[in-house]
Amino acid sequence: MTRTNYYPQLDSVRGLSFLAIFFFHAVHPQPADTWLGKLFMFYYQQLPLAIDVFFILSSFLLTWLGIKEQQKQQKVSLAKFFQRRILRIWPLYFLLLTISFFVLSPLAARNGYPMTMPDPFYYYFFVANFYHAEHVFFLQILWTISVEEQFYVFLGFMMRFFFNYLRIIFTLLIISSLAFSVYTILAGAGSYFHTLTYCVDFAMGGLAALMYTSRSALVIWTEKLSGAKLAMFYSWPVIQLTIFFFIQQFAETPFLDLLNRFLFIVYLSLLLVEQLGNERRTRALERSRFLILTGRISFGLYCFHGITITAFEQIIRQSGTVISSWLLIPVIFAFNFSVAFLSYRFFEAPFLRLKDKLRMI
C-alpha cells in the first residue's frame, strides 16, 4: 500500500490472528476438571476464530481499495485485481508446494520416514478445502488459501460488473452462508472446510468497508466510543466467550457455536472500522512494532509454521530428547519468524513491489 492508504493497526490485528493460530497448532494443553481449567480450554478451543479474522480483514481491505478505485477510475480493473492477488499469493504458495512435493516428500521417503501426501491437483488448483483424505499436517493448514482464492475470483467479478449492487450481494451472501451452516448442522454434515461456511466472513468484511466509506450510523457510533463504553467494546470478546462458556455448561448445541462465531464476526468487523475512524481508539495496535511486523510477514509465517512445527517435533522425537514445551515453543516460533522474515525480505518483496505498481490508487 502507499503510505496514505496504510494503517499499521490492521497489520497488528493480522499479527495477533497469526499468534492465535500458531498457539493453537503448537501448544496442546491437557483438559482439566476445574472450572478455571475448563474455561481455559474453552478459550483455547476458540483460537481458530483467528481464521475468520484473516478472511474478514482480507475482504475489508480488498473491498475498501475497490471502492477507492471505483471513485477514482469509475471502474475496477479486473485484470489488475487478479494480477495483484497472484503476485501476493502465488509465488510463495507455489514455492511451498514445490518444496513439499518435490523435496521434502522424496527426502523423507529416502530416509525411511514416508509422508502421506495429498493429491497435488487439489492444491495446485486451489480446491484443497474439498480434499478430506488424511495427509501431512503442514499442507492441511493451507486449505484457507484455497478458500480465499475462490472468494477472490467471486469478489473481483462482483466489483467489476456489479459494483452498485455490492451491498445487496454481501447481504445475500451472509444469509446464504448462515442458512448453509444451519442446514449442515441439522443434516449432521461436516462443513468446517466448505467455502460457503466462510462467505459470512467475507461478506461482513465487505459490508464493513461499504459502511466505513459511506459513513453509516453504525460507523459513526464506533467513532464516538470513549471511556467506559470503549473499554467495554475492547473487552467484548472475553465477555462474549465467558458468557457462552457458562451457557454451554447447561445447554450444549452446535447452534450456540454458530451464534458465538457470528457475533464474533460482527464484532471484528466493527473493530476494524473503529480502529480506522475513532480518534479515541487505543493506539497500542498501531505502535506495537512486533505486532505490525508480524502482520506484515504473516503470510509467510502462516505458510511455513506447519513445516516448522512438524520438523521440530520430528527432530525431538527421533533424538529422544526430553524438552519442556515452554522452552520448545519459543524456539519454534523464533525459527519460523526468522524464516518468514527472510522470505518476506528477499523472496516476496520483489513481487510485492511489482504488485504495488499495479495499484490504481
Phi, psi of 282 (to 5 degrees): -65, 135
What is the band of 31 on the pLDDT scale with cuts at 50, 70, 90? confident
- Looking at residues 337-348, what average pLDDT do you find? 98
What is the band of 187 on the pLDDT scale with cuts at 50, 70, 90? very high
- Looking at residues 61-76, what average pLDDT do you find? 94
Q: Could you report how far apart the first and last alpha carbons of the chain are, in Å? A: 9
Taking the C-alpha atoms of residue 185 and residue 255, their distance in angstroms, rounded to an integer, is 8
pLDDT at residue 224 in the model: 96
Torsion 126-130-135-137 (CA) sign: positive
Instruction: Reply yes or no on whether the pLDDT at 239 is more than 70.
Output: yes
Residue 303 near residue 100, CB atoms below 8 Å: no
Q: What angle do CA 343, 347, 353 make, to 5 degrees?
A: 120
- Looking at residues 197-220, what average pLDDT do you find? 96
- Looking at residues 202-228, what average pLDDT do you find? 96
Three-state DSSP state, 58 = helix
pLDDT at residue 4 in the model: 58
pLDDT at residue 3 in the model: 47
Instruction: Reply yes or no on whether the pLDDT at 132 is more than 60.
Output: yes
Residue 41 near residue 249, CB atoms below 8 Å: no
Three-state DSSP state, 119 = coil
Q: What does pTM read for this prediction?
A: 0.95
Residue 81 near residue 352, CB atoms below 8 Å: no
**Tens digit of each residue's pLDDT (9 = 90 or more) over 264-284:** 999 999 999 999 999 999 999
Phi-psi category of 96—alpha, beta or left, where left has phi over 0 and alpha has psi -120 to 50?
A: alpha
**What grid cell was written down for 166?**
455490492
Instruction: Reply yes or no on whether the pLDDT at 11 is more than 60.
Output: yes
Q: How far is CA 356 from CA 82, 178, 193, in A?
A: 13, 35, 31
Rounded to the nearest integer, the mean pLDDT of the chain is: 94
